Structure formats: structure tokens, C-alpha cells
């Protein structure tokens, strides 16, 4: 009797086991990106740019050519690649410490120039790799290693809403925020990632998908509680929406 395969791992990812903590959604988001690259049949034409943070080793997981960038600089590195190879697909995969803090200048200017690249921005409101410090995206009142009494607006200011900010730039073609806290939202996240790469395929300009993500280890929650924390605490601050959709992407 032959068995029919109803599911298999995407060839967009390598066979290397990821190093992510239990309940972290990085692996899931990797898979969504890998599936999109596979479905669009663009793996051989894609160059990914890994950032610094928990996802630094993403270059070992994506099954395409990869470059590892300095902290926050991935959009500048991606710009360099794309300007030389305009017919290839170029994406960055960055966390919120990398993109929204040290790399905010690079992502703003890449968007302003309308760089025809795709940014996958994974926001879990904390620095994971370095041990749970405050990120620009940390919620007001949220306790972290560097905000032990909770983030205080009068001291650390308010969270940066990256999608809202980038969407104001003319060069931004497709900007959407999605979440990974349940199956329905994961499916929506994949659609958004696909739209971003289609935006790039059509040469429309800068695309970015912000994906709300978890950090059970540094939040001090179990995986299920973490998903609820995203839904109950992050989504109200970071509304899920399409912030920019220039003509041509349905």
C-alpha cells in the first residue's frame, strides 16, 4: 500500500534544525517565508540578508543565498545587493532590536529610496538574544532586564510604531502588520508575506511585513500564554492592518 504525502516541509528551508526556544515563533515565520519563496518558485533567484539577534543564524535555515549583516544594517546591505542585481529577489529578516533601534535609519532610508526589497520585521517587543532587554517596541509598563520596574514613558518614552511611520514615506509600496498568535492570523501572515514579494516582483518599491511574535523565554511565560499575550497586549498597541498598498497588488 502506498501512502500519499499530504504535507511536507517546504524546500524553502534547509534541513538544519533551528536553535530557537520552545514557543518562539521565529521558526514558524521562517517557514512562511520559505513556503512563499517555494510557491513563487524564486528560491534560486533570491538573496536573503540575515541580521543580528536571535535570527542571526537564519542564513543557515533559508535555502537560498544568504548574507549576514551587521547589527541594524541589513536594509543597507540589501540595497547594495539589489542595486547590482535588480532582477533578483532580495529580502531582509530582522528583529525589533535590530530594525527599530540601531537600524531605524537604514530601514527608513531604504523605504524612502523605494528600494525594491522586502523586509520581514519580526516584533516581539524585547531583545531576545542578549537576554530580554527593552526594545523600542517594548510596551508601556512591560518589565524587561533594563526596565525592571516596567517601561515608564517619562523615562524611556513610548513604543515606536514602525509600520505607521514607514507608511508615510512615498517609496513604501506595501506595508502590513500581521500576527502569529493563532492559525487564522498565521494564514493571513503568509498572504501578507506573499504580497510583499509580489510587490517586489512587480518592481513597485519597498515592502515590509511586520510580524508580531513571541518570546516565552524572556517574557517569562509558557508558549500558550505567550500567544495570548500577543493577542491581548501587543495587538491593541500594534493594530493589525495594511498600512500602505500602492496600486497593483491585490
The residue ranges that bind another protein (CB under 8 A) are 14, 43-47, 49-50, 56-57, 59-60, 62-70, 73, 76-85, 88, 105-106, 108-109
> What is the rounded distance in angstroms from the CA atom of residue 239 to the CA atom of residue 136?
16
Minimum CB–partner distance for residue 206 and another protein (Å): 14
Minimum CB–partner distance for residue 151 and another protein (Å): 27
Pick 109 or 202: Cβ nearer another protein: 109
Contact 95, 122 (CB under 8 A): yes
**Phi and psi at residue 128, to the nearest 5°:** -85, -55
Minimum CB–partner distance for residue 160 and another protein (Å): 18
End-to-end CA distance of the chain: 43
Pick 90 or 125: Cβ nearer another protein: 90
Pick 120 or 240: Cβ nearer another protein: 120
Contacts of 75 (CB under 8 A, 6+ apart): 92, 94, 103, 106, 107, 109, 110, 115, 117, 119
Pick 58 or 226: Cβ nearer another protein: 58
SS3 letters for 117-151? CEEEEEECCCECCCCCECCCCCCCCCCECCECCCC
Rg (CA), the chain: 17
Minimum CB–partner distance for residue 44 and another protein (Å): 5
Helix (H, G, I), strand (E, B) or coil at 30: helix
Minimum CB–partner distance for residue 120 and another protein (Å): 17
Minimum CB–partner distance for residue 59 and another protein (Å): 5
Contact 242, 175 (CB under 8 A): yes
Pick 106 or 210: Cβ nearer another protein: 106
> What is the rounded distance in angstroms from the CA atom of residue 129 to the CA atom of residue 248?
38
Helix (H, G, I), strand (E, B) or coil at 179: strand
Pick 60 or 228: Cβ nearer another protein: 60
> What is the rounded distance in angstroms from the CA atom of residue 248 to the CA atom of residue 230?
31
Minimum CB–partner distance for residue 93 and another protein (Å): 14
Amino acid at each position: 500500500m502506498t501512502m500519499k504525502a499530504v504535507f511536507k516541509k517546504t524546500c524553502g528551508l534547509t534541513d538544519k534544525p533551528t536553535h530557537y526556544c520552545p514557543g518562539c515563533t521565529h521558526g514558524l515565520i521562517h517557514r512562511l517565508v520559505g513556503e512563499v519563496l517555494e510557491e513563487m518558485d524564486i528560491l534560486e533567484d533570491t538573496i536573503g540578508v540575515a541580521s543580528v539577534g536571535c535570527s542571526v543564524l537564519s542564513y543557515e535555515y533559508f535555502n537560498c543565498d544568504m548574507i549576514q549583516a551587521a547589527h541594524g544594517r541589513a536594509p543597507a546591505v540589501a540595497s547594495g545587493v539589489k542595486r547590482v542585481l535588480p532582477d533578483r529577489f532580495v529580502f531582509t529578516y530582522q528583529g525589533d532590536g535590530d530594525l527599530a533601534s540601531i537600524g531605524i535609519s537604514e530601514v527608513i532610508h531604504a523605504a524612502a529610496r523605494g528600494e525594491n526589497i522586502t523586509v520581514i520585521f519580526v516584533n516581539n517587543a524585547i531583545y531576545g538574544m542578549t537576554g530580554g532587554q527593552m526594545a523600542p517596541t517594548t510596551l508601556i509598563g512591560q518589565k524587561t532586564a533594563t526596565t525592571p520596574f516596567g517601561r515608564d514613558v517619562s523615562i524611556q518614552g513610548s513604543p515606536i510604531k514602525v509600520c505607521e511611520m514607514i507608511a508615510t514615506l512615498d517609496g513604501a509600496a506595501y506595508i502590513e502588520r500581521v500576527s502569529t498568535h493563532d492559525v487564522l492570523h498565521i494564514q493571513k501572515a503568509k498572504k501578507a508575506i506573499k504580497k510583499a514579494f509580489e510587490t517586489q516582483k512587480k518592481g513597485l518599491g519597498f515592502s515590509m511585513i511586520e510580524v508580531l511574535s513571541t518570546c516565552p523565554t524572556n517574557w517569562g511565560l509558557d508558549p500558550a500564554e505567550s500567544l495570548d499575550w500577543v493577542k491581548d497586549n501587543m495587538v491593541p498597541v500594534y493594530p493589525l492592518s495594511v498600512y500602505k498598498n500602492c496600486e497593483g497588488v491585490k
